């Protein structure tokens, strides 16, 4: 395949990200790791969002990915980051297929709220499972990279490079998917589902596939977060407010571009770290007010500002 513009952008993005990993201070690398992990989840939301669906329970797959990693480390002693991430992608995908059989019949607010309710099932199970530390969660042992076991600063950068690689791979994959016929059905379904069905397409199946892809991305994000933080617990991974954050980032970044979720989540993490440091009691209020402002004045997210500027310039 010829190298297209998108490929060049991806390559540039990787060079910039990798350089940042070696140049930036430790706290910034950690912040970038977390925001790329969130960006992965939001990329999944973008896929569903373009179909007109708002998944308000993506923490289910985020948490499932994180707990899949935690449990595998705990039970099998497996440490390799490649194998663990793969498991953290596949297990949520399987879960999404099961849940999706019921969920994909619903649209609009029902889809949103039912996905939230499903994520609360996982939360309920985890909180009541004392073997997994219930609300305290448990620590995740540091991973190895194909036999290489770094420590300290090297570990932090290695995890960061891994998530950077994952993000770019995901961005490329989602880009290919969205340009395929299956991906382009998204806006058609959003506009008029029944007409799409008259064209001989099973809308339910298309949505199920989208939900499964989104779950895999969320699982990868959860896995990386588990590695980077080294600890998992139900409140930070599966509670419905976590899903709310993902929805917030999606609105903040807009669904216009594959890169928007990553930029959006970086901005989100930056604002959050400063808000928590300087005004811990106002954090949710800041979130709520900006959510309202974006819905009112920037309904297509921050990315639409870029596109508008480019058109004008």
Partner 1 sequence: MLTLLAILVDGLVYASWLFIVAVGLSLIFGVMKILNVAHGSLYAFGAYAAATLIGAYFNAGWAPLGSFAVMLLAAVAVGAILGLALERGLLRFMYGRDEVIIVLVTYAAFLILEDSILLIWGTNPYFAFQPYALLGNASVGRLAFANYDLSMIGLSVVTGVLLWWALTHTRQGKLLQAVIHDREMAQALGINVTRVFTATFVLGAMLGALGGAVTAPQISVTPGIGVEVIVVAFAVVVIGGMGSIPGAAIGALIVGLIRAATVHLFPQVELFVIYAVMSLVLAFRPAGLFGRAAARKI
Q: Which residues bind partner 1 (CB under 8 A)?
A: 52, 54, 56, 102, 105-106, 108-110, 112-114, 116-118, 120-125, 127-129, 192-195, 240-241, 244, 247, 251, 281-285, 287-289, 291-292, 295-296
Question: Shortest gap between Cβ of 196 and partner 1 (angstroms)?
Answer: 12
Bridge partners (DSSP) of residue 80 are: 144
Bridge partners (DSSP) of residue 144 are: 80
When the beta carbons of 79 and 272 are compared against partner 1, the nearer one is: 272
CA nearest neighbour of 10 among 258, 219, 254, 304: 258
When the beta carbons of 85 and 265 are compared against partner 1, the nearer one is: 265
How far apart are the C-alpha atoms of 36 and 168, rounded to whole Å?
10
When the beta carbons of 38 and 175 are compared against partner 1, the nearer one is: 38
Kindly report the number of other CB atoms within 10 A of residue 299's CB atom.
10
How far apart are the C-alpha atoms of 210 and 164, rounded to whole Å?
23
When the beta carbons of 144 and 265 are compared against partner 1, the nearer one is: 265
Question: Shortest gap between Cβ of 128 and partner 1 (angstroms)?
Answer: 5
How far apart are the C-alpha atoms of 96 and 126, rounded to whole Å?
18
How far apart are the C-alpha atoms of 9 and 12, rounded to whole Å?
5
How far apart are the C-alpha atoms of 28 and 270, rounded to whole Å?
9
Question: Shortest gap between Cβ of 279 and partner 1 (angstroms)?
Answer: 10
When the beta carbons of 25 and 198 are compared against partner 1, the nearer one is: 198
Question: Shortest gap between Cβ of 222 and partner 1 (angstroms)?
Answer: 19
Degrees, nearest 5: CA angle 269-273-276: 130
- Structure tokens, 170: 């995901």
Question: Shortest gap between Cβ of 130 and partner 1 (angstroms)?
Answer: 9
Question: Shortest gap between Cβ of 56 and partner 1 (angstroms)?
Answer: 8
In sequence order, the 6+-apart residues with CB closer than 8 A to the CB of 162 are 81, 85, 145, 224, 227
When the beta carbons of 129 and 154 are compared against partner 1, the nearer one is: 129
Residue count (the chain): 313
How far apart are the C-alpha atoms of 306 and 61, rounded to whole Å?
31
Question: Shortest gap between Cβ of 250 and partner 1 (angstroms)?
Answer: 10
CA nearest neighbour of 32 among 261, 222, 281, 266: 266
When the beta carbons of 42 and 81 are compared against partner 1, the nearer one is: 42
In sequence order, the 6+-apart residues with CB closer than 8 A to the CB of 107 are 52, 53, 193
When the beta carbons of 52 and 150 are compared against partner 1, the nearer one is: 52
Question: Shortest gap between Cβ of 121 and partner 1 (angstroms)?
Answer: 4
Distance, CA of 144 to chain centre: 23
């Amino acid at each position: 395949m010829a190298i297209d513009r998108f490929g060049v952008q991806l390559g540039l993005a990787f060079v910039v990200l990798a350089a940042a990993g070696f140049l930036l201070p430790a706290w910034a690398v950690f912040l970038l790791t977390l925001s790329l992990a969130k960006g992965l989840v939001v990329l999944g939301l973008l896929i569903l969002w373009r179909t007109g669906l708002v998944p308000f329970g993506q923490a289910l797959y985020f948490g499932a990915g994180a707990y899949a990693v935690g449990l595998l480390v705990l039970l099998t002693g497996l440490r390799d980051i490649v194998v663990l991430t793969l498991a953290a992608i596949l297990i949520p995908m399987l879960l999404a297929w099961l849940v999706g059989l019921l969920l994909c019949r619903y649209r609009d607010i029902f889809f949103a709220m039912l996905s939230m309710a499903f994520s609360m099932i996982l939360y309920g199970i985890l909180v009541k499972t004392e073997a997994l530390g219930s609300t305290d969660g448990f620590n995740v042992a540091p991973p190895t990279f194909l036999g290489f076991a770094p420590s300290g600063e090297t570990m932090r950068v290695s995890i960061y490079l891994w998530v950077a690689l994952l993000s770019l791979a995901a961005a490329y994959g989602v880009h290919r998917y969205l340009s395929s016929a299956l991906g382009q059905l998204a806006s058609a379904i959003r506009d008029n589902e029944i007409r799409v069905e008259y064209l001989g397409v099973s809308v339910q199946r298309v949505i199920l596939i989208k939900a499964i892809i989104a779950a895999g991305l969320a699982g990868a994000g959860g896995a990386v977060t588990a590695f980077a933080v080294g600890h998992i617990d139900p409140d930070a991974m599966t509670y419905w407010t976590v899903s709310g954050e993902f929805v917030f980032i999606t609105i903040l970044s807009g669904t216009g571009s594959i890169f928007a979720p990553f930029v959006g989540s970086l901005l989100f993490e930056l604002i959050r770290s400063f808000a928590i440091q300087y005004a811990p009691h106002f954090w949710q209020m800041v979130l709520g007010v900006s959510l309202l402002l974006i819905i009112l004045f920037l309904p297509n997210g921050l990315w639409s500002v870029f596109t508008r500027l480019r058109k004008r310039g």
